Amino acid sequence: MSYDLAVWEGDRPVDNAAALATFEALHERFVGKGGFPPTPRIRAYVDALLERWIDLTEDEHDDSPWSTGPLIGEASGPFIYFPMVYSRCTEVSAGAARIAAERGLVCFDPQLGLLRPAPEEM
């Protein structure tokens, strides 16, 4: 079982309903479509995640929180939708949301239908 987050470039939606609509549109446009290299900002975001947590493809000690690898393979254009192992989702999703916010990116949690980070995660 995995836990997924979505991160994208753009203005932060006004509320969770608007974020869900944006997420669905971006997911439809970019996920599984191929041919969209990650934008520089999304690539930098993935690099920041991998500075904190090892990529699954480089993990020799079962320390990676990612469910797929390489993590950059989940990125498409200005959007990344990526899974993490459920057993570490609280820690990793909070950290990934903070890293997105620090870079001016939008983070949305589709399981909860919420924009992140929540105020208590900052």
Could you report the per-residue pLDDT of 64-78, keeping only the tens digit for each?
Answer: 999 999 999 999 999
Q: Could you tell me the pTM of the whole model? A: 0.94
Q: What is the mean pLDDT of residues 10-14?
A: 96
pLDDT digits (tens, 9 = 90+) for 81-104: 999 999 999 999 999 999 999 999
Contact 96, 90 (CB under 8 A): no
- What band does 34 get if pLDDT is binned at 50, 70 and 90? confident
DSSP secondary structure of 46-74: HHHHHHHS--GGG-SSS---BSSSSGGGG
Interatomic CA distance for residues 106 and 59, integer angstroms? 28
